[in-house]
Amino acid sequence: MNNQTSILIIYTGGTIGMIKDQDTGVLKPFNFENIFNQIPDLKEFKYDLEFYCFEPLVDSSNMNPNLWKKITNVIGNKYEDHDGFVILHGSDTMAFTASALSFMLENLNKPVILTGSQLPLGFLRTDGRDNLITAIEIAAAKEDETPIVPEVCIYFENELIRGNRAVKYNAENFNAFVSGNYPVLADVGVYIKFKKEKIRKLNFKKLKVNDSLDTNVGLLKLFPGITESFLKSVVNSPDIKALVLETFGSGNATSEKWFLESLAEAIDNGLIVLNVSQCISGSVDQGKYETSIELEKIGVISGRDISTEAAITKLMYLLGKGISNKEIKALLNKSLRGEISI
């Protein structure tokens, strides 16, 4: 019997898997069958590493819920065969994917670690080599034969972040992600220092893959000068069922009569409106200021300290369950996967 720790590496696409064509200088995907030639250090691992590559590969700007479904089904089908999973993904939409997977993979008891890079593996100074090696090590990490990190996370540049708390905030630095409202789950230097009290606990239940998502969700970022006609074009969009409203500071919005009346009418007609702060760090506190009291009165739901990425994917997940708006609103105020602070 093979007692080796087994890790499945799923390559969806993105910068990390690119190398430069020596003849043309153009970046192209490299064949992961040759990964041990590209990163010889992987041979030092005493793990059984297997690879699953998307065909065709996907630029993360083209990531979508159908591809999230594909990822979750690969994990679901391979779940009993592996001790952990590493997903190589472009960084631009990685926080959306990590958030979505956290909701779609219910009762997760194994690590699912997303990583990528700002520079391709084929570059001399690439951050991808260390990111991949460390992500594998974290996915394989156990204590008393149980996984240390049984949740969906992002590992990037020396920090392990809960997936549904991550926000990409930098397009140039290697430390591309931040967790503004929750502590990092591990700091990586000479040693990997896990903050075990911050990591979700094993639940010992059977994995359930929730792959029904409803994408009739909108996003509206408020700005000074927003017009009534623009607001109405959003809240009256055909088929829209839920709207993430990115407000100022701790959940504040204009108190113009037309703004509140348009939102109130949409809510009365069944639209779910979730209030999320535009700030990377901090929480919505409806009622703290006069400009948010009215939002509370008309039925806008406080998103507390949830990120925009988690808010959108949580709504897709909840709408996909086919439950009532009343049930959805109740669940929006609950932490399902550690996405909000209660």
Beta-bridge mates of residue 147:
142
Gap between the Cα atoms of 182 and 335, Å rounded: 13
33 and 121 both lie in a single domain: yes
* Final residue belonging to a domain, choices 180, 209, 238: 209
Phi, psi of 136 (to 5 degrees): -65, -45
Write out pLDDT tens, residues 287-327. 888 888 999 999 999 999 999 999 999 999 999 999 999 99
245 and 125 both lie in a single domain: no
173 and 316 both lie in a single domain: no
Q: Return the minimum-mean-pLDDT range out of 29-43, 59-73, 164-178, 182-196.
A: 29-43
Does 97 qualify as catalytic in the annotation? no
Let me know: does 156 contact 131? Beta carbons within 8 Å: yes
- Residue 94, classed as helix, strand or coil, is helix
Instruction: Give the percent of the chain with pLDDT over 70.
Output: 98
Write out pLDDT tens, residues 312-322. 999 999 999 99
Write out pLDDT tens, residues 249-269. 999 999 999 999 999 999 999
Residue 2's pLDDT band, with cuts at 50, 70 and 90, is low
Per the structure, how many domains does the chain have? Answer: 2
* Final residue belonging to a domain, choices 209, 228, 255: 209
Q: What is the DSSP letter of 308?
A: H
Evaluate whether residue 1 is within a structural domain: no
Gap between the Cα atoms of 323 and 156, Å rounded: 36
Evaluate whether residue 16 is within a structural domain: yes
77 and 200 both lie in a single domain: yes
Q: If you average pLDDT over residues 73-86, what whole number do you get?
A: 98
Evaluate whether residue 341 is within a structural domain: no
H helices of 174-242, in order, are: 228-235
Q: If you average pLDDT over residues 231-239, what whole number do you get?
A: 96
Statement: residue 15 has pLDDT above 90: no
Gap between the Cα atoms of 223 and 112, Å rounded: 36
Q: At what angle do helices 94-104 and 65-78 cross, to 10 degrees?
A: 50
291 alpha carbon, distance to own chain's centre: 30
Statement: residue 1 has pLDDT above 80: no
Say which of 5, 15, 97, 254 is annotated catalytic: 15
19 and 159 both lie in a single domain: yes
**Is the C-alpha dihedral spanning 315, 317, 320, 325 positive or negative?**
negative
Evaluate whether residue 340 is within a structural domain: no
Write out pLDDT tens, residues 136-185. 999 999 999 999 999 999 999 999 999 999 999 998 888 889 999 999 99
186 and 281 both lie in a single domain: no
172 and 288 both lie in a single domain: no
Question: What CATH code is carried by the domain that includes residue 254?
Answer: 3.40.50.40
SS3 content of the chain, % helix, strand, coil (to 5): 35, 20, 45
Statement: residue 45 has pLDDT above 60: yes
226 and 189 both lie in a single domain: no
12 and 118 both lie in a single domain: yes
184 and 318 both lie in a single domain: no
Q: If you average pLDDT over residues 75-102, what whole number do you get?
A: 97
Question: What CATH code is carried by the domain that includes residue 187?
Answer: 3.40.50.1170
Higher pLDDT pick, 130 / 174: 130
236 and 101 both lie in a single domain: no
For the question of whether the overall pTM of this predicted structure is more than 0.85, the answer is yes
* Final residue belonging to a domain, choices 209, 230, 265: 209
> Which residue has tokens 């996405």?
339
171 and 243 both lie in a single domain: no
Where on the phi/psi map is residue 191: left (φ > 0), alpha (ψ -120 to 50), or beta?
Answer: beta
* Domain limits for position 294: 217-332
Measured between its terminal Cα atoms, the distance across the chain in Å is: 45
